[in-house]
Amino acid sequence: MTKRRAKISRKTNETAIEIAVNLDGTGISNIETGIGFFDHMLEQLSKHSLIDITIKAQGDLHIDAHHSVEDIGIVLGGALKEALGDKKGIRRYGHFDLVMDEARTSVALDFSGRAFLIWDVAFTSGSVGEMETELFQEFFQALAGAAGLTLHITKLAGANNHHIAESVFKACAKALRMAVETDPRAADQLPSTKGVL
């Protein structure tokens, strides 16, 4: 088994991002995006997936948060993909149905190598804190694309926008934990009949 860690940097005219992940961590995070609510959500992603995540991001926030949020999704997805290596021994699939007060979200995912996002989440306002709610879809689209992840996110209930967003990130975290865990019954096997993922 490889170390299942990765560190990736990406610099453009709009953002400069460094992300490190440890799939076999304990959920320790050090997140600095400049977007307070997004930091809070990414901390939830780390804590509940047990993936250690460090993110240092600088972006053109004087314009808006779009470039930063999307590029963080790209770099985080790339880091997850690199840390998984050839994917031998992982469970590959994950699913979690999570409640947070009145909010309930279902997440199902597959490290298939085929990037796809189904986003069925509606918010009742345009922002949570200083973050526009439409950017959550942008983040998960970028994450799925860079990780080669098939990702379905469905809001089943919810009225409070903070709760809706947090239930999405926590459900995704729990599903990620399940999918990236090693299966002791198939530690040297690739979870696919194709022979490659």
Residue 156 maps to which CATH number? Answer: 3.30.230.40
H helix intervals, 50-123:
66-84
Residue 195 in domain: no
DSSP SS3 for 5: strand
Largest CA distance in the chain: 51
Residue 194 in domain: no
Q: How many C-beta neighbours within 10 Å does residue 120 have?
A: 11
Q: What pLDDT score was predicted for residue 191?
A: 87
Q: State the residue range of the domain holding 156.
A: 5-180
Total count of domains within the chain: 1
Chain CA centroid to CA 85, Å: 17
Q: Kindly report, residue by residue over 36-58, the tens digit of the pLDDT.
A: 999 999 999 999 999 999 999 99
Q: What pLDDT score was predicted for residue 42?
A: 98
Mark the ranges of the chain whose per-residue pLDDT is less than 50: none
Backbone angles phi, psi at 174, to 5 degrees: -65, -40
Q: Kindly report, residue by residue over 90-117, the tens digit of the pLDDT.
A: 999 999 999 999 999 999 999 999 999 9
